[in-house]
Amino acid sequence: MQRVRILVFNAALGALDYRVPEGMKAVPGSIVVAPLGPRQIIGVVWEPESLEAAEVPESKLRPLVEVLPAPPLPAPLRRLIEWTADYYCAPMASVARMALASSAALRGGGTVTEYRLTGTEPARLTPQRLAALDALTGEQATIRELAATAGVSEGVLRGLVSAGALEPVTVDLDRPYPAAKPDFAVPELSPDQQAAADAFVAAVRERHFRPFLLDGVTGSGKTECYFEAVAEALRQGRQTLVLLPEIALTQNFLRRFEQRFGVPPVLWHSSVKSTERRRAWRAIASGEAQVVVGARSALFLPYANLGLIVIDEAHEISFKQDDGVRYNARDVAVIRAKFEAVPVILASATPALESMQLAENGTYERIELPDRFGGASLPSIEILDLREEQPERGRWLAPRLMKEIEARLERGEQSLLFLNRRGYAPLTLCRSCGHRFQCPNCTAWLVEHRFSRRLACHHCGHEVPVPELCPECGEADCLVACGPGVERIADEVRDLLPAARIAQATSDTLNTPERIADFVTAAEEGAIDVIVGTQLVTKGYHFPQLTLVGVVDADLGLEGGDLRAGERTYQQIAQVAGRAGRAQKPGQVLIQTRHPEAAVIAALAAGDRDAFYEAETQGRRDAGAPPFGRWAAIIVSSEHEAEAREAARMIGGSRPAHPDIAILGPAPAPLSLLRGRYRYRLLINARRSAQLQKVLREWLGPLQFPRGVRVGIDVDPYSFV
Ligand code: ADP
Ligand code: ZN
């Protein structure tokens, strides 16, 4: 009799043993269906020695139902799942689930039915039908997805099918992707670029683990360099994974990839529709998908034949996932490269301090591109001290910045104003009674969005229409907006320069791939004079006409004062500055601040990156902060304040005493209410030598909590709220 251990996708169950029926072939990694009580569950066959399960006598073992028609998860991926679960103190089941991100794909290939518009107008036109016809132009997807896109019920769409306005299309899930051509359009590289490319190509040929830090200034052509490594992986018939920090950047990448290799790469992120995900998953698992570009969720997919991993904009904090499994995709990608024995390239103009340190101590090979490509110069950076050059009352842009924007407008060049705040104003209050609009579910102000005339919470999505009367005192027309958001800055520019074509670039306006593509095209063609945007436009883009960057409020990021506030501010401003003057015309950057003396701002103004990193490194060393020491957080939450407090107190009360570990708290989290849950935090600061995970497991493992309490562990946290 063959006995197998199954990792089941239920964190509470963990691993269970089963019997393999006669004639069935189950090997480690096989994805199987198993009986559980009256139900059936999906799981993965695992090596029994690396996974604990309850002892069950042979006679009691139930037989597996079937092995699903998908390739077994490869051994390096199984090791990665174990490592991730162990390092981040997460259930293995939750990590493994990320590898099987498309459950439909496990059922094999075949076909699915999608629908698209026929161009025929239905005889009867209801408002809903009209809305659907309008929204679905150019779309093709399943009924459920189309209904979500159009914001109508599936019933409305079925009606449109009957009326002949929508037609079914059969889609073959296993239709092959067109082959990328490694030599489709080979660029001529500068000597620096060539040296970088040569090192990468050699590493891909060698086929073992080699981590690189590609440290190149903005506009140096980092993409062109790592594309040569991708080309080599293609020639070798091996797969490449390119991780990008945001979906918004994939559109841009896609185009550049197509120009270089003749075909688009395979895309993977949360808004790829289900049929495409299913197709992509199968091609990734079979080895047929050559190059996959995606957000962090692409990291755990079951690549059959990986040859290279690239992490672009590797400093970006969005690689850190803060819900579900709290992991850092940048760090796990390096571990994956190690298990897969392949090279990994971290590309950035403003590397994270942690990455710098690893390059410093020789763990990473640093490859530098000190100059912009094609002789373009780096922009000049100037501080605009708001205490001396004050904007007019009720305005946020200093006269000098406005004058520069106006000059660009006259010369037909572009300006970019950066403010990392969506909406019109971060706080709205009543002039007559002082009432402040707060989210009922979160410790946060509601943000006015004037365009959609709503007050919205940026944490939980709670939204209400802007009221006509103050809900507290009943006064009419009494609401005042406090402080600027992107919408308000756009208004200000419009007021002063009515002729300017202004585009707002935030996750509110650029929320679909199409809108992003339209924006990028318009910006590249010079159809936009002034871009007002959040961090969304700070990176990746190359707009040749853009010669002025204005940072509206450089002090904003320093306010919270968390561990990485300085670093993040430096990175954001250096990145957005890097959008200026990327082509022939030189760029200028104006940074508005009230604290020109702050170390970060001074370093930016002096263009002295080394000084900044040195000071920051020293500060971290003194504080025992990463990369010199380690942090972890324990987040306790419940819908009931008392329950959360009690659980936090219990954890605090059983804290271990350890010379290498300091434990702070419990204390109410800065965001003490989030999505209707009350939150408490404990912070753990450990020396690098401490066995942090072991301590956490032994500390929290034996504790019992009421059902409504959630206890989350965040190893290497990025968020301190
Ligand atoms: P980075 O990512 O380092 O900021 P990019 O890779 O976006 O820089 O390159 C900046 C611009 O220079 C892009 O438009 C890119 O196509 C162009 N470029 C870089 N290297 C070359 C090259 N060797 N030949 C032609 N164009 C290049
Ligand atoms: Zn909220």
* pLDDT bracket for residue 306 (50, 70, 90): very high
Average pLDDT over residues 91-107: 87
- Dihedral angle sign, alpha carbons of residues 345, 351, 352, 356: positive
Point out the ligand nearest to the CA of residue 186: 1
Tell me the C-alpha distance between 540 and 519, whole Å.
14
CA 536 / ligand 2 centre spacing (Å): 22
Top mutation candidate among 541, 542, 571, 576 for ligand 1, by most atoms within 8 Å of CB: 542
For residue 223, the CA-to-ligand 1 centroid distance in Å is 7
Cα of 677 vs centre of ligand 2, distance in Å, is 10
**Residue-level pLDDT at 587:** 93
Query: What is the distance in A from the centroid of ligand 1 to the CA of 469?
Result: 54
Question: Quick one: which atom of ligand 1 is closest to the CA of 218?
Answer: 4
Question: pLDDT: is 110 or 547 the higher one?
Answer: 547
Give the architecture (CATH level 2) of 191-374. Answer: 3-Layer(aba) Sandwich (3.40)
Nearest protein Cα to ligand 1, atom 26? 187
Which segment of 204-213, 310-319, 470-479 scores lowest on mean pLDDT? 470-479
Percent of the chain at pLDDT > 70 equals 100
Instruction: Place 187 in a pLDDT band, splitting at 50, 70 and 90.
Output: very high
Least confident of 21-30, 140-149, 259-268, 560-569: 560-569
What is the topology classification, in CATH, of domain 376-421+484-617? Rossmann fold (3.40.50)
Mean pLDDT of 284-309: 96
Closest ligand to C-alpha of residue 676 is: 2
Please compute the mean of the pLDDT values over residues 229-246 and round it to a whole number: 97
Strand partners, 511: none
Which tens digits make up the pLDDT trace of 366-386? 999 999 998 888 899 999 999
Q: Give the pLDDT confidence of 129-165 residue by residue, as tens digits.
A: 988 888 888 888 889 888 988 889 999 999 999 999 9
The answer, yes or no, to whether residue 104 has pLDDT greater than 80, is: no
- Give the per-residue pLDDT at 122: 86
Domain 629-715 is of which CATH architecture? 2-Layer Sandwich (3.30)
Distance of CA 686 from the midpoint of ligand 2 (Å): 33
Stretch (H or E) spanning 492: helix 486-496
Q: Is residue 719 predicted with pLDDT exceeding 90?
A: no
Q: Which ligand is nearest to the CA of 674?
A: 2
Question: What is the pLDDT averaged over residues 226-233?
Answer: 98
Residue bearing the CA closest to ligand 1, atom 12: 221
- Tell me whether strands 111-117 and 166-172 are parallel, antiparallel or unpaired: antiparallel
Local confidence band at 506 (pLDDT 50, 70, 90 cut-offs): very high
User: Which pLDDT band, with edges at 50, 70 and 90, does 561 fall under?
Assistant: low
C-alpha span between 564 and 575 (Å, rounded): 16
Q: What is the pLDDT of residue 452?
A: 85
Measured in whole angstroms, the distance separating CA 62 from the mean position of its chain's CA atoms is: 41
Phi and psi dihedrals of 699, rounded to 5?
A: -75, -50
Q: Residues with Cβ < 8 Å from 650, sequence gap 6 or more?
A: 703, 705
pLDDT of residue 369: 97
Ligand 1-lining residues (CB < 6 angstroms)? 187-189, 193, 216, 218-224, 373, 542
d(CA 634, CA 683): 6
Q: Which ligand is nearest to the CA of 253?
A: 1
| DSSP string for 261-289 | HSS--EEESTTS-HHHHHHHHHHHHHT--
Instruction: Return the residue whose CA atom lies nearest to atom 9 of ligand 1.
Output: 221
- Read off the tokens for 257: 């990839």
Rounded to the nearest angstrom, the distance between the alpha carbon of 409 and the centre of ligand 1 is 26
One-letter amino acid at 624 equals: G
Which is more confidently placed, 260 or 10? 260
CATH fold for the domain made of 2-99:
GIY-YIG endonuclease (3.40.1440)
Atom 17 of ligand 1, nearest CA residue: 221
With 80 as the cut, is the pLDDT of residue 57 above it?
yes
CA distances from residue 721 to 557, 615, 672 in whole angstroms, order as listed: 14, 25, 8
At residue 261, what is the residue type? F
| Helix, strand, or coil (residue 504) | strand
Quote the Cα angle for 185-186-190, to 5°.
Answer: 140
For residue 447, report the distance from its CA to the centre of ligand 2, in Å. Answer: 10
Most confident of 117-126, 153-162, 208-217: 208-217
For residue 216, the ligand 1 atom closest to its alpha carbon is: 3
pLDDT for 560 equals 66
Q: What is the mean pLDDT of residues 409-430?
A: 94
Peptide bond into 426 cis (omega under 30): no
Question: Which residue's CA is the closest to the ligand 1 atom numbered 27?
Answer: 221
Instruction: Kindly report, residue by residue over 650-673, the tens digit of the pLDDT.
Output: 999 999 999 999 999 899 998 999
Parallel, antiparallel, or unpaired: how do β-strands 677-687 and 661-674 relate?
antiparallel
Contact 537, 529 (CB under 8 A): no
Q: Output 125 or 706, whichever has higher pLDDT.
A: 706
Question: Is 376-421+484-617 in the same CATH topology as 191-374?
Answer: yes
Average pLDDT value over all residues in the chain: 93
Closest-CA residue, ligand 1 atom 15, reads 221
Pairing of strands 343-348, 530-533: unpaired
Q: Looking at the predicted structure, is the pLDDT value of residue 622 above 80? A: yes
In the predicted structure, residue 11 carries a pLDDT above the cut 80: no
Kindly tell me the burial class for residue 631, based on how many C-beta atoms sit within 10 Å of its own C-beta (0-12, 13-18, 19 or more).
buried
Residue 205 has pLDDT above 90, yes or no: yes
Model-level pTM? 0.91
Ligand nearest to the Cα of 542, by number: 1
Amino acid at 678: Y
What pLDDT shows up at residue 562?
79
- Would you kindly state where each structural domain of the chain is located, as residue ranges? 2-99, 111-172, 191-374, 376-421+484-617, 629-715
